[in-house]
Amino acid sequence: MKNQKTWVAVILLGTVAVNTGAYLVMRSRRAAQAVVPPAPVVARVEPAAPGTTPPAAAPADDAKAGLARARRASGLAALEDRDYARAVTEFTEALSLRNDPHGDVVELLRIATDLRAREQARAPTASAPREPSGSKPTPRTRAARLAAARQAREQQQQAQASETESERKGGLLLVTSTPPGLVVLVDGKALDMTPARLSVPAGSHRVVLAQGDRQLYSETLEVAEDSVRSLNRDLTAELTPPASRPAPVAVPVVATSSAPPVGAVPTGGLAPNARAPEPTPPPEPSVAKAAVAQVAQRGDLEVTSPGLYGEVWINNRPYGFPPISAQALPAGPARVEVRVNGEVKRRMTVDVEPGRSTRVRVR
């Protein structure tokens, strides 16, 4: 019996030692991968043959962009696990890699920092010891007794008010999406755009992610009192609307008649009592020149909006969601607006050059 116990203890200790060693090895490998930067790859450039175009080199920022996306996804997972310290670290690393002050990582970092500060503020603190009731002297005069009773009544009212406020206290709702900039509707009301940090009452709420008037995703969430619920969805596949194009401008075409020239006589001569065909007057060149001038005085606009996804309006006319190509616009200044749920978020004026295509990037 004693030998069996000894072997069981040896087996348990060996298992613990093996698991500990494996954990330490994996941790050291991850730390080495995170700290040691990848070795630079030196590419040998061969001289190009005359008359050939060398292939374009891949952008050097692709690796950093992929790592930044991975850090952002890890931070979102940490937010869902309510590990706000790790979320702050991941979003900070993603921001340093991406270096985009206008992206959604900045807003996610701010939200994670606020949640971490709130969790730290809710840490249990040692309450000050209360004095025993027997230590206070009993008031002897009537005025002192009335003052003590009034003070006790005020304290009781304050305690009841604090309890009522704690009962009405709700929770936080953190809504994120890929790509960002979608409208967040809670119980049918548009409150913010993703990424959003919303204070809602405790209970059941229907959360909808929308793009303009189109609902992309909906879910019902239960928010407990003084809690944080997270909703993160990748809706890239649903955000592929066809770019709407205005109707092309019709150019009038003037047809000319193939009448024989003046003085032309048929081979067999003129028949008796036959009149020579009257010449057709040439078309007036003003019509063709006006059509060509009208086309020459128009231009195109190509609008992209990587930071804000909303409906593009040009000169108070909707053209759809970016990227869009507006053709045959009148030359001159054009007013470009990006509207989200009917509200103008960006507004700018662009000069349309005649006979050319102008690219516009809305930030």
Read off the pLDDT of residues 296-309 as tens digits, 9 standing for 90 and up: 678 888 888 877 77
Q: Do residues 301 and 334 lie in contact, with contact meaning Cβ atoms separated by under 8 Å?
A: yes
pLDDT of residue 191: 87
The two three-digit tokens of residue 281, written as one number: 């007057």
Is residue 32 situated within a structural domain?
Answer: no
162 vs 263 pLDDT, higher one: 162
Range with the largest mean pLDDT of 18-27, 141-150, 245-254, 273-282 = 18-27
Q: Is the pLDDT of residue 208 over 90?
A: yes
Which has the higher per-residue pLDDT, 103 or 352? 352
In a domain, 79, yes or no: yes
Tokens of 143: 């005025």
For 224-304, list the strands marked E by DSSP. 228-234, 298-304
In a domain, 198, yes or no: yes
pLDDT at 44: 53
Q: In 3-state terms, what secondary structure has residue 244?
A: coil
- What CATH number is attached to the domain comprising 296? 2.60.40.1120
Same domain, 357 and 294: yes
Q: Is residue 126 part of a domain?
A: no
Rounded average pLDDT over 38-49: 50
More confident residue, 67 or 243: 67
Residue 353: per-residue pLDDT: 87
Q: At residue 117, does pLDDT exceed 70? A: yes
Residue 258 confidence class, pLDDT cut points 50, 70, 90:
very low
Mean pLDDT along residues 163-188 = 78
Q: What's the mean pLDDT in 130-146?
A: 61
Model confidence band, residue 186 (pLDDT cutoffs 50, 70, 90): very high
Per-residue pLDDT, averaged over 156-174, amounts to 69
Residue 270: band (very low, low, confident or very high) from pLDDT cuts 50, 70, 90: very low
Tell me which of 33-42, 54-63, 160-169 is least confident.
33-42
Final residue of a domain: which of 198, 214, 234? Answer: 234
The rounded distance, in Å, linking the Cα atoms of 52 and 260 is 55
In a domain, 72, yes or no: yes
| Confidence band, pLDDT 50/70/90 cuts, at residue 289 | low
Average pLDDT on 145-164 reads 77
State the chain's mean pLDDT as an integer: 74
Q: Residue 263's pLDDT is what?
A: 47
CA distances from 10 to 17, 134, 176 (A): 10, 60, 50
- Top pLDDT among 32 and 47 is at 32
Residue 280 included in any domain: no
Give the structural domain span for 221. Answer: 168-234
For the segment 312-336, the average pLDDT, to the nearest whole number, is 86
The mean per-residue pLDDT over the stretch 81-87 comes to 87
Q: Which of 6-20, 223-237, 262-276, 285-299 has the lowest mean pLDDT?
A: 262-276
Of residues 272 and 210, more confidence is placed in 210
Residue 301 lies inside a defined structural domain of this protein: yes
Find the mean pLDDT for residues 110-118.
Answer: 86
The pLDDT score that the predictor gives to residue 287 is 47
pLDDT at 165: 59
Say how far apart CA 7 and CA 15 lie, in whole Å: 12
pLDDT at 256: 45
Q: In what order do the strands lie in the sheet with 324-330?
A: 324-330, 298-304, 357-361
117 and 172, same domain (yes or no): no
Distance CA(286)–CA(185), nearest Å, equals: 57
- The token duo for 11 is 């087996």
- Domain match, 293 and 229 both: no
Q: Are 301 and 326 in contact (CB under 8 A)?
A: yes
CA proximity to 302, closest of 320, 275, 283, 277:
320
pLDDT at 265: 46
Residue 333 lies in a domain: yes
Nearest partner of 338 among 305, 306, 360, judged by Cα: 305
pLDDT at position 89 over 60: yes
**Count of structural domains within the chain:** 3
Q: Which of these ranges, 146-150, 205-209, 335-339, has the smallest mean pLDDT?
A: 146-150
Question: What would the two tokens of residue 225 be?
Answer: 């009192």
**pLDDT of residue 352 exceeding 80:** yes
Report the percent of the chain where pLDDT is more than 90: 4
Report percent pLDDT > 70 for the chain.
67
Cβ-proximal residues to 34 (8 Å cutoff; 6+ apart), any chain? none
